[in-house]
Chain A
Amino acid sequence: QVPLQESGPGLLKPSETLSLTCTVSDGSITSHYWTWIRQPPGKGLEWIGHLHYGGNANYNPSLRSRVTISLDTAKNQVSLRLSSVTAADTAVYFCARLKTAGGMDRWGRGTLVTVSS
């Protein structure tokens, strides 16, 4: 069983809302910070934001007006919503766990989201 597994639509049209879910199977999501990161095809990594259970989310200012990260403790899932997508949001989206000492030690395999009309 994969510890972290992202899921969601792979193709969106411009202006639609991206909604992804990360299912965590190796421990409760009430510990650790849970992070979303994206990687445009052939490019580097961009931190989207993170959230800790019972805490406030931190978002990349470049996306803050469009992004929401939330936790569903009943399903042990971490969710990402990104509104008003454009082609620039085309990327592989990863969820990851931030370990207490720092660094992200658990990653999902990533899911490719393509924005195209």
Chain B
Amino acid sequence: DVVLTQSPDSLAVSLGERATINCKSSQSVLNSLNKGNYLAWYQQKPGQPPKLLFYWGSSREFGVPDRFSGGGSETDFSLTISSLQAEDVAVYYCQQYSSTPYTFGQGTRLEIK
């Protein structure tokens, strides 16, 4: 199985400041044929299902604010919030869909400092 390791486990950032979450994969999730990174990011708020933020590592899902950005390739990825807003408090997960079983990172809890 592909193991995804997120860092940090939790993060406290001041409003308006930058927040960055990392996701490291035990195997490359880059598809050699289409050059796509098979990695997604989700945001989950308490009592809600996860919400898709990015697919292909950096393709923003419709409706996701542009203060969110996704980057990286092969085994190292990041999710950045350029200016933290109160509504961004949540747990964030990365997920690979390169090979089954699809796996998730352990999650990163983002809070306001």
A positions within 8 Å CB-CB of B: 35, 44-47, 49-50, 58-62, 94, 96, 98-99, 101-105, 107-110
Contacts and interface: CB of A to CB of B under 8 A. Distances in A.
Nearest to A110: B49
10 contacts: A44-B104, A45-B104, A46-B104, A50-B102, A101-B55, A101-B56, A102-B38, A102-B40, A103-B55, A107-B49
Contact of A58 (B38, B61, B93, B100): B100
B105 to A, nearest CB: 8
Nearest to A98: B97
Nearest to B105: A44
Given A58-B100, A102-B38, A45 B50 contact: yes
Interface residues of B, number: 26
A62 B1 CA distance: 11
Contacts of A107: 49-51
Q: Which 6 A-B pairs have the closest CB atoms?
A: A103-B55, A107-B49, A103-B40, A60-B101, A47-B102, A45-B104
A47 B42 CA distance: 14
Nearest to B59: A101
A73 to B, nearest CB: 23
Interface string B38-70: 101010000011111011100101000000000
A104 B40 contact: yes
Nearest to B38: A102
B106 A44 contact: yes
* B38, B40, B42, B106: residue with the most chain A Cβ atoms closer than 10 Å: B40
Nearest to B53: A103
B101 A109 contact: no
B90 to A, nearest CB: 13
Nearest to A61: B101
A89 to B, nearest CB: 16
Interface in B89-113: 93, 95, 97, 100-107
